[in-house]
Structure 1
Amino acid sequence: MYSLPKIERFNQHVWLKYKLFNSVFITLPFDEIDNTGVLLPLFAEVCENGFKNTLSPKEIVETFATKYLENPSEQDKLDLMFRFIQYVERQIVLFDAIEDAAFPIVNNMEGRGSIRDMKEKADQRSKNQELVRFLNDFQVRTVLTAHPTQFYPGSVLGIITDLTEAIRVNNLVQIKELLAQLGKTPFIKKEKPTPFDEAVSLIWYLENVFYSTIGDMLQYLHKNIYKNHQMPKSIVNLGFWPGGDRDGNPFVTTEITLKVADRLRTSILKCYYIDIRKLKRKLTFKGVDTLLAEVEHKLYRSVFYSQGEIFITIQAFEETLQEIKKRVIEHHQSLYLDEIDLLLNKLAAFGFHFATLDIRQNSKIHRQVFEEIVQKMDVFPPHYISLSETEKIEILSNLSGNLTEKDVENEMTKSTIGSIHAMKTIQQKNGELGSNRYIISNNESALNVMETLSMFHLCGWNNPTVDIVPLFESVDDLQHADVIMEQLYANSAYKKHLESRNNVQTVMLGFSDGTKDGGYLMANWSIYKAKESLTIMSRKYGIKVLFFDGRGGPPARGGGKTHQFYASLGPSIENNQIQVTVQGQTISSNFGTLDACRYNLENLLSAGATNQLFSKGNNQLSDHDRAVVEQLSELSYEKYLQFKQHPKFIPYLEKMSTLNYYAKTNIGSRPSKRNKSEQLVFEELRAIPFVGSWSQLKQNVPGFFGVGTALQHFEQTNQWNKVVDLYKNSLFFKTLIENSMMALCKSFFPLTAYMRKDEEFGEFWQIIYDEFLETKRLLLKLSGYLELMENYPDGKASIQIREQIVLPLLTIQQYALIKINEIKKGRSEPDLLEVYEKLVTRSLFGNINASRNSA
């Protein structure tokens, strides 16, 4: 099977199957009008030829209507476009299911990046003991977030799962039935999901994918690397944000946080209960069966007959399993010992919490909260607000109290205090790992961290079993992160807190907002340098720093080939853990099936081993290389800032993109911007709608803008060889370039080429297009490729097929935006304005979901 090249395996098992099953799908009538499936391929062909002949989306729609429809009214055309959207959305689901089914065939599950490969490398190089020492001190933590980049309701997720399995075994009857069911199942959420709804959706992945995948991985390590000896508590673990991420989400309340934590606990106990029932069928031996029956009964009561009470402690559960193991070894010839060990490993990884529920809030909110707390509590001097940062930190270092929600009036203050008390409650019920991290987004100073720590003290939690995690996002904050942390390390109160946390400090670094703020190269380089300087500073104070990366799906948000980033980090960056956010379509594409989840988790684990064990020191950037990356970053930053400050930048996004429509999609519970003001303020705009709007335009600006200009400087000043050497020598830089190629590959400027004639935005569009062309030319020259992503032919093929599927959607969306602008300029009647706006919103969904391969 693996003897065929990867692209041939892709073509056989994905592309050919898609053509076959799509031909079945396209003939299915979903309503009383059965010619939609016949007309869609014709419309797709008109779109493709139209863009080749430089027609605008409006001209393409009119050409199609003239050629294939009989004197249609505008309403007739709109009705047909809505039906086209219905079909295209489902074609994307079909393609997703086919790719998922073919995943273990297209990808070598035991090849490079697998834990088997990691073990065999250690065997070959006599590094088995070093591998054990590495694993003893290393963790991979994937943190599931509810950021709105995918919208499938639970009913559709269920169909995708069933369809994937039917395709895997080529059950044609069932495939046709499921495609028919898919055609009749609504895709649209009529109401925004609550944070609890989002949590329930993601817990499905915990129960059905992560639970067994992580268990199997740990079992393999336990048997083959640790040789059945004691393993660390958890080499792979999970974090969770829905219900705890308060930043800019007014719908996350203390009640929701507690409710989500309860649901997580119930879910993991249910998983244990199912496993115990399976064990009970096998361990039917005297002296063992009674112990199992007792555990089963207690778990059953805790899951199905509980109002929050737990009828078995984690210690009692583990002790019983250990006793069962002992009896099986001593009296029953170690029968089914592997199954007992597997459950013990799962218990060690997931405890009674399943995933750690992180709490997150913005430093600006904390500032408002503190203004009220200062007024309400007499432990503050009357002039506190006007003091300097140093003076404030000195006062905050010595505070305590018994503050509760009843002591304050403002709802935001109540909610913030409530979240601290909720963390304590969750720890009592689910264990410390239930909720032991408080993340401060937009962290700009040491004061932000000390305010957070002091809030715990003011709420009566004097030695909080909680990690305070500053999140540095803007380029400026990233550049000063080490100075901020030194202030904290040198502070006696914070030092005492860190000692209670084993002198471990987690620092979060945000790719999404960094890219929005400083452009692609500067954001990535700033994060790399911040990690280096934070490593130096932390080592100086005897602190072990752990980096938590806020990454999205597309390269513009830190995604792309994520494991390659971690494999490329040199010894100057502390790399004891890989902690990364996973969201939206990245969850379903990278972790949505057992095969994909295993493959990607193993790749992350082996990336750490590659960096620290097998290639240690190989990825060290030389002073010369650093100088080149520095100059490239500065040049691209200048170009991006100039672009961002262009007077048409915000108006272009507001009038020519889908930015204002994200809030109407009901994808996620969060608003698309942090403030409530009518006017769009760039700083308050969330990274997801920002990056997503460029993606819908097929311009992908955050993934490449400034890169071409920076490279051009080296070409024009006869220094091109410096960039070539850097590309050859640095895996970090090579990964950056390859991910930028992906952003270019997913761009399609013929879609918006009509804008070059626009009286207001023509010049602005040309600036973007010129940078795209120059970036593409120089990336091809640098890599030596004839075409983008030449070294990932299967990934490129996947992107091309997906782009082909959504081309009708993109055309429809642009057609609607053109008509809306005509109405707003008084050039067309406003009767259908609401319908055109609905058309834009409806076409968003399919385009968003088709981007799953951006991860």
Structure 2
Amino acid sequence: MKNLNYQEEVTTRFTVYNSLFLDLPYGHIYRTGTVLPMLQQLSQSGYEEGKDPVEIIEKFQRKILGTQDDKELHNLLFQLIQYIERQVLLFDSIEDAAFGKIYNLEGKGSVKELIGRVRHTSKMEELKEKLKNFSVRIVLTAHPTQFYPGNVLAINNDLEAAIRTGDLNTINSLLKQLGKTPFIKRDKPSPYDEAVSLCWYLENVFYKSIPAILYDLAEDMDESFEEWINPNLLTVGFWPGGDRDGNPFVTHDITLKVADRLRETILKCYYRDIRAIRRRLTFKGVEEKIQEAENKVYHALFGDKSKGFINPDELLQVLHEALENLKADHMGLFSDLLEKFILKVRIFGFHFSIMDIRQDSRKHDGLWEEILSKDDNTSTIAQYEKLPEADKIKHLMSFEKLPGEEDDYDDFHLEMLKSFDALEEIKKRNGDRACHRYIISNCQSALHVMEVFQLARLKLSKKAYENLDVVPLFETIDDLAKASDIMQQLYEIPEYREHVKNRNEQQTIMVGFSDGTKDGGYLRANWSIFLAKEALTDISRKYGINVIFFDGRGGPPARGGGNMHDFYASLGSNIEDQEIQVTIQGQTISSNYGKVNSCRYNLEQLLSAGLENHLFPENNRQLSESERKLVDQMADISYQLYNDFKNHDKFTPYLANVTPLKYFGETNIGSRPSSRGKKGELKFEDLRAIPFVGAWAQMKQNIPGFYGVGTALKSLKDSGKEQEVNALYKDSLFFKTLLGNSMQSIAKSFYPATAYLGKDKEFGEFWHIMKKEFDLSKAELDAISDNKGMMHDAQVSKESIAIRERIVLPLISIQQYAIQKLRDGVEDEETFKRLILRSMFGIMNAARNAA
């Protein structure tokens, strides 16, 4: 059943506004817009008839051009690509404009709905107690999946506003601008460029939406704004400029530059607010204080820094003095304006967003090799390597200073050492919370954690060291299985245990979906993370430590994305839930957090999900032992199938030679290289998660989001456990969410476009293996949902995906046509490579969370 509101607010509007493109005063645009539906129809009917992309495009050439001139055809295809890109952005704007009408902003998962339930069940005191230390942190990453350049995003923002008000003249004007604005970045962005882009969201979205949620909470709970119990309830984290993992362009100078930009951005926000507040607070004794605040913020931002505020506490003191005067002498007139601003300063400080430092464990290994080689007390590296891990840790902890002069260290290692200097400097400039953790990716042992821990002890001042969280990141299936043993080992090390004690008995642990899914497939990765969290919670509780989980989830289901509210609401009491921390990347930032309405909606969904586990535990029963065995069995079956597939001798060659994987490095969307390894032969272990997931998404095959699910479900059905699995799907929110997110991956797949590969001499068998599991997964997922169809319980998302897939169908045909022609052998390879590259942008943008 279609959502009538969605039809009216989105589908119909898209049809109407899309027609405006045809009247734009640009050459070729009328012709392009007129022939595009023909290519769309030819693609749809062609795939239904079993035709391949070359046949479809050549038929399009005969019907539309009536010529064999390939140059003319290719010119038209490039024009079609540009046209479709703009259709996708128009659809984005229309959906964004309708957000408040197609989603119930006060329904399930909203703060308003939660407060209503709390009042109804007389749990207000429990809620207040939980809110004292609960927190949700959205961490904006530097991962490159946002294909729109900044100027195009600005048009999208203005277009959404015009559509919301029905301003036809402005819409038409913006479509003209859109028609002439390039969608491609000429140069790769630097890490600083990436940070500047994300600062736009901080300033224009998060600065408005986070305080708004807290204002409503405070009012509903009869709490004072300026004395709100927990200003850290909703915070934003920041990776651009601090994420060094695989990015040689992130230096300590860049880290400091980004931190300064964050400080500058929040001070600009404060300056605008203070000037607005001063227009109302014109009373004796109050106006002078507000003027003082304005002047000192101005100096901190633009003028003589010595005359400006050094930290937010100084600003808060002046604001509190003004508020006291206002209440004592002027009946508290307009005091709500000042109280709300005070809360903003408490939320964002002078840092705005909390920066993380991240580096790969293998890089720390290399740095310590050089440190040990310079140390007179270490005989040889070879002897050190033979030591048991506990003895290695003892040896590292015996260092009281770094040997030799830092300037004599290898340049890369010197940069790593200077990242600690940068971390300390950020704290001095922006406050302790501005940068307080170091994340170790590819963490495989207690030694990996202690390498960073000891570097921090040697490099940082006592205060900065005591304020630092050392965060291991566990991602692969093996590492997740060992995670609790590694943490127990760490908790037994006296120096580390003392540090955790001084950090209020808190330990943050990051678990990553990306490499887990790449390593073990969809079901095994998700179940391994669930089990690891339970084991980590258990071992931490035994040591009296509160573990905080930081999820590297990204956007698409293959990277742990999908329905986040249901995911967090389903975890149960065996997994610590003191905070929710999650990475958000590229397209998911712009689609879920790119506008105030959508940002507020999604933040509230996460907030209520985390609070529900504590307030209403009866709504989410734990998995029984028999149910756990069912999931474990399915995960094992899925893992074996995926492992066989991953180890197929055509797996890596297919990614390297058939998919657009190799072109991700040419899209100029991110500063990081697309692979960790050196140029040359592609190695599976060097593949980054984004190009890996993105390549499957471009092919409309979405392997990481479903592969093995069908076989697992079918195997249990065949062994007589169909009723148990069906009951599990019905009764367990965790399992239902797991399969629901896989359904989303299947809904975004389209195997007919690559059916021609089934006849390929080299990859035919490999393609059929994929297609067989896709068909089986689709059938089994449909069956378990009582044959209601994919995503039957998420109608808005289902309709959105369907329209987006229809819009980009011609792009898929063009891209596969180019891939097919290149594999068949052509003279003009450059043109076909450009067709592949150019079509990637629209396909990815339409999916919104494809990598």
TM class by smaller structure: over 0.9
Deviations 1:207-226 (A, max 9, x none): 00001110111112222225
CA distance in 1, matches of 2:533, 2:427: 30
What are structure 2's unaligned runs of at least 5 residues? Answer: none
Equivalent residue, structure 1, for 2:798:
796
CA distance in 2, matches of 1:653, 1:11: 38
Equivalent residue, structure 1, for 2:815:
813
Give yes or no for contact 1:586–1:852 (8 Å, CA) kept in 2.
Answer: yes
CA distance in 1, matches of 2:158, 2:667: 26
Select the residue among 236, 241, 246 that pairs with 2:234: 236
Equivalent residue, structure 2, for 1:395:
395
Counterpart secondary structure, 1:35: helix
Matching of residues 23-34 of structure 1 within 5 Å? 23-31=19-27, 34=30
Answer yes or no: is 1:458 the counterpart of 2:454: no
Equivalent residue, structure 2, for 1:274:
272
Matching of residues 414-563 of structure 1 within 5 Å? 414-462=414-462, 463-563=465-565
CA distance in 1, matches of 2:306, 2:662: 42
CA shift, 1:459, in A, is 1.9
CA shift, 1:777, in A, is 0.8
Counterpart secondary structure, 1:26: helix
Equivalent residue, structure 1, for 2:648:
646
| Amino acid across the alignment from 2:267 | L
| Amino acid across the alignment from 1:593 | K
Give yes or no for contact 2:638–2:707 (8 Å, CA) kept in 1.
Answer: yes
Equivalent residue, structure 2, for 1:144:
140
CA distance in 2, matches of 1:222, 1:381: 62
Give yes or no for contact 1:243–1:256 (8 Å, CA) kept in 2.
Answer: yes
Select the residue among 622, 626, 629 that pairs with 2:628: 626
Answer yes or no: is 1:750 the counterpart of 2:719: no
Counterpart secondary structure, 2:3: helix
Counterpart secondary structure, 1:227: coil
Give yes or no for contact 2:298–2:308 (8 Å, CA) kept in 1.
Answer: no
Give yes or no for contact 1:299–1:312 (8 Å, CA) kept in 2.
Answer: no
CA shift, 1:266, in A, is 0.7
CA distance in 1, matches of 2:812, 2:518: 24
CA distance in 1, matches of 2:404, 2:261: 25
Deviations 1:531-578 (A, max 9, x none): 000000000011110000001211011000011110001100000000
Equivalent residue, structure 2, for 1:216:
212
CA shift, 1:641, in A, is 0.3
Deviations 1:160-192 (A, max 9, x none): 011000000111111011001001001111110
**Where in structure 1 do 4 or more consecutive aligned residues deviate above 6 Å?**
none
Counterpart secondary structure, 2:148: coil
Deviations 1:89-137 (A, max 9, x none): 0100000000000000111111111111111111000000000111112
Equivalent residue, structure 2, for 1:637:
639
CA distance in 1, matches of 2:163, 2:404: 55
CA shift, 1:227, in A, is 2.2
Select the residue among 704, 707, 710 that pairs with 1:708: 710
CA shift, 1:45, in A, is 1.5
CA shift, 1:854, in A, is 6.1
Select the residue among 242, 257, 260 that pairs with 2:258: 260
**1:217–1:428 CA distance, 2 compared to 1 (3 A):** same
Answer yes or no: is 1:842 the counterpart of 2:838: yes
Counterpart secondary structure, 1:282: coil
Give yes or no for contact 2:393–2:450 (8 Å, CA) kept in 1.
Answer: yes
CA distance in 2, matches of 1:71, 1:486: 72
CA distance in 2, matches of 1:550, 1:814: 32
CA distance in 2, matches of 1:369, 1:563: 41
Answer yes or no: is 1:331 the counterpart of 2:339: no
Answer yes or no: is 1:192 the counterpart of 2:194: no
CA distance in 2, matches of 1:403, 1:354: 37
Could you say what the CA RMSD is over the residues aligned between the two structures, in angstroms?
1.6
CA shift, 1:270, in A, is 0.8
Counterpart secondary structure, 2:472: strand
Give yes or no for contact 2:439–2:470 (8 Å, CA) kept in 1.
Answer: yes
| Amino acid across the alignment from 2:314 | A
CA shift, 1:299, in A, is 0.7
Deviations 1:608-648 (A, max 9, x none): 11111123473311111111010010010000001101111
CA distance in 2, matches of 1:308, 1:677: 50
* Higher mean displacement: 335-344 or 449-458: 335-344
Counterpart secondary structure, 2:399: coil
* Higher mean displacement: 42-51 or 767-776: 42-51
* Higher mean displacement: 362-371 or 221-230: 221-230
CA shift, 1:84, in A, is 0.5
Counterpart secondary structure, 1:436: strand
**1:405–1:508 CA distance, 2 compared to 1 (3 A):** farther
| Amino acid across the alignment from 1:97 | S
CA shift, 1:70, in A, is 2.9
Matching of residues 66-465 of structure 1 within 5 Å? 66-225=62-221, 227-228=223-224, 230-305=228-303, 310-378=308-376, 380=378, 382=380, 383-401=383-401, 406-462=406-462, 463-465=465-467
CA distance in 1, matches of 2:619, 2:108: 20
**1:255–1:310 CA distance, 2 compared to 1 (3 A):** farther
Give yes or no for contact 1:283–1:289 (8 Å, CA) kept in 2.
Answer: yes
Give yes or no for contact 1:405–1:415 (8 Å, CA) kept in 2.
Answer: no
Deviations 1:791-823 (A, max 9, x none): 111111100100011111111111111111112
* Higher mean displacement: 662-671 or 335-344: 335-344
CA shift, 1:501, in A, is 1.1
CA distance in 2, matches of 1:693, 1:380: 46
**1:834–1:366 CA distance, 2 compared to 1 (3 A):** same
* Higher mean displacement: 716-725 or 796-805: 716-725
TM-score normalised by structure 2 residue count: 0.97
| Amino acid across the alignment from 1:247 | D
Counterpart secondary structure, 1:480: helix
* Higher mean displacement: 21-30 or 139-148: 21-30
**1:30–1:415 CA distance, 2 compared to 1 (3 A):** farther
Select the residue among 675, 678, 685 that pairs with 1:676: 678
Matching of residues 603-614 of structure 1 within 5 Å? 603-614=605-616
Matching of residues 758-769 of structure 1 within 5 Å? 758-769=760-771
Give yes or no for contact 1:521–1:633 (8 Å, CA) kept in 2.
Answer: yes
* Higher mean displacement: 729-738 or 618-627: 618-627
CA distance in 2, matches of 1:11, 1:692: 30
Answer yes or no: is 1:11 the counterpart of 2:31: no
Aligned residues: 845
Give yes or no for contact 2:421–2:460 (8 Å, CA) kept in 1.
Answer: no
CA shift, 1:385, in A, is 4.0
**1:30–1:367 CA distance, 2 compared to 1 (3 A):** farther
Answer yes or no: is 1:40 the counterpart of 2:36: yes
CA shift, 1:87, in A, is 0.5
Deviations 1:18-52 (A, max 9, x none): 00000111332433664222221221121111111
CA distance in 1, matches of 2:114, 2:377: 56
